[in-house]
Structure 1
Amino acid sequence: MRTQRLQEAPARVLTYAEATKSVSAESTHGKRTARSVLLLHGYTHSPAQVAGLAEVFFQHGFNVYAPTAPQHGPGGGHKGFTAAQLVRHAGAALDVAAALGDEVGVVGVSAGAALATWLGAHRGDVVSRLLLITPLFAPRPRPALRPLTVLYGLRLPPDRVNDRGYSFTAVAQYLRVAANLPAAPVTGALRHVAVVTSPGDTVVDAGPAVAVPERLAAQAGATFTHHALPAGAGHAHNVIGAHAAALDPLYFDLYDG
């Protein structure tokens, strides 16, 4: 389900002062730093999901930007947004993060990792590193991918909400983004891609979760790391946040390569 609208990635060059209008003072060091990072939370979540990891990056000298996705966060409803809104949001967020540091990378969680990968592919001349945590490129069960992406992506049938509170129409917007990665990515900056998968994950298909970013890394000439969390440790799909704070140092190390 490819469309030109979802393959356009215009960039806007911002000054540090312009960028900080979008960022809380607690997330920056008061000046442009050598490195900055953009953190994109998962579907139905908010920046609170990545707050612990954001603090780890900040303590390592990064300026950090963790925006709220369209219609997410408290009272957001997380249903009515479109794929086009998601890519515009991601692109604008990258513009801000790029103005905060000389080198910028992106961390994405689940559906947010689909946006992060889209940025790494369409704006690989800017994004230097990617960390993708349980990335959503295809759902489980896999046969649901095409009807979800096409039918619900175009809002043809009435929306459905599953037992996790996921709107089929909303999830389909992220899947539409994932379906619009370029055949030949923009390259020049991307040097490292890391992926985290979880053995207890019943939400995403682990095959594409690894294969899609591995292919992007190969095309960009970047290094690639896949880290599978240990089986038997109780890890499911959501492996970041206060309940998984012990993993934040690992995630930073994977990002740093």
Structure 2
Amino acid sequence: MIADGHDTRVLSHGRRRARSVLLLHGYTHSPAQLDPLAALFFARGYNVVVPRAPGHGLVDPDGHATVTAAGLRAYAAEALDTAAALGAETGVLGVSGGGVLATWLAVRRPETVRRLVVLAPLYAPHPSQVPPAARVALRVLHGRRLLPDRRSSRGYSYRAVAQYLRIASALPRAFPANGPARVAAVLAPGDTTVDGKLAFELPERLARAAGASLTLDTLPSHLGLAHDIISRHRLGEHADVLYERYAALYEDA
């Protein structure tokens, strides 16, 4: 059962517009995480689609542990179809696990995804969480449900995280030359959840292959942010400034 206020959002101006954007929330979160940013894009004239990922936003707080790589890919592809129908130009902004799916869409559907922004993308865990030598074991043994599930200190299901890692690991070494025209990645210096090197390296390679404009944005350390750089309760007094910053990165302003 879906919890109140956590289902899919579609913010439409009632007709197809010049621009639409697909916003993909992070793992263990729901579309509510992106409400302020969705409202900002809508006010700027975009049609906005914020879908609920499988197993997320449920009354059962452990529902996210049931996600599969195939289910996540299907959800993201269907959501992109919806967004593309609402705008002549479409882009994707994804947070954490949503950033993995956003990148997968940009690679899989380069003719559709013209702008890509990833916030703290979970291409791989931070080395302090999972040593590089153990990543394959996590991805295979937990990803294929060969081991009992475990929970990290953040409450992350190993099985669920492994599904995102399976998608990330399957991204091609050679990115498409007809990819997005605009790419940006954002990371907080205090993020000990994701591999910061990969968080910038993959978007940079994707942008280079496509000849896209690129921004790799490290947030100021004085903000004291860690992995969650989108939820309003985490951003506090800096929230509105950061939402404007993310929208500007998307628009290459």
Moved over 4 A (4+): 22-25
Alignment partners' CA distance in 2, 1:99 and 1:23: 16
Aligned residue in 1 for 2:200: 210
Aligned residue in 2 for 1:105: 91
TM-align CA RMSD: 1.5
Alignment partners' CA distance in 2, 1:186 and 1:218: 10
Match 1:69 to one of 53, 56, 80: 53
Mapped contact 2:124–2:198 kept (Cα < 8 A):
yes
Residue 83 (1) aligns with residue 73 (2): no
Aligned residue in 1 for 2:4: none
* Higher alpha-carbon deviation: 240-249 or 91-100: 240-249
Deviation at 1:75, TM superposition (A): 2.1
Aligned residue in 2 for 1:50: 34
Task: Tell me which amino acid in the other structure corresponds to 2:225.
Answer: H
Mapped contact 1:36–1:63 kept (Cα < 8 A):
yes
Task: Tell me which amino acid in the other structure corresponds to 1:154.
Answer: R
SS across alignment from 2:65: coil
Match 2:227 to one of 224, 234, 237: 237
Alignment partners' CA distance in 2, 1:62 and 1:253: 14
Match 1:166 to one of 156, 172, 176: 156
User: 1:210-242 CA deviation, whole Å, 9 max, x = no partner?
Assistant: 001110111111111001001132111001022
User: 1:146-167 CA deviation, whole Å, 9 max, x = no partner?
Assistant: 2211111111111001121100
SS across alignment from 1:95: helix
Alignment partners' CA distance in 2, 1:189 and 1:137: 19
Match 1:92 to one of 50, 55, 78: 78
Runs (5+) with no aligned partner, structure 1: 1-21
SS across alignment from 1:79: helix
Residue 251 (1) aligns with residue 246 (2): yes
Alignment partners' CA distance in 2, 1:116 and 1:201: 20
Alignment partners' CA distance in 1, 2:224 and 2:56: 27
Match 2:25 to one of 17, 38, 41: 41
Deviation at 1:182, TM superposition (A): 2.3
SS across alignment from 2:106: helix
State the number of aligned residues.
235
Aligned residue in 2 for 1:131: 117
Residue 179 (1) aligns with residue 174 (2): no
Aligned residue in 2 for 1:153: 143
Task: Tell me which amino acid in the other structure corresponds to 1:52.
Answer: P
Mapped contact 1:122–1:182 kept (Cα < 8 A):
no
Task: Tell me which amino acid in the other structure corresponds to 1:199.
Answer: P
Alignment partners' CA distance in 2, 1:205 and 1:180: 17
Mapped contact 2:8–2:52 kept (Cα < 8 A):
no
* Higher alpha-carbon deviation: 155-164 or 36-45: 155-164
User: 1:23-62 CA deviation, whole Å, 9 max, x = no partner?
Assistant: 756x110100000000000000000111100111000000
Deviation at 1:188, TM superposition (A): 3.0
Per chain length, whose mean CA-contact separation is higher, i.e. which structure has more relative contact order (CA < 8 Å, sep 6+)? 1
Identity in percent: 53
Alignment partners' CA distance in 1, 2:173 and 2:85: 28
Alignment partners' CA distance in 1, 2:8 and 2:70: 23
Task: Tell me which amino acid in the other structure corresponds to 1:145.
Answer: R
Mapped contact 1:121–1:187 kept (Cα < 8 A):
no
Deviation at 1:177, TM superposition (A): 0.7
Alignment partners' CA distance in 2, 1:186 and 1:210: 18
Q: What is the TM-score normalised by the length of structure 2? A: 0.89
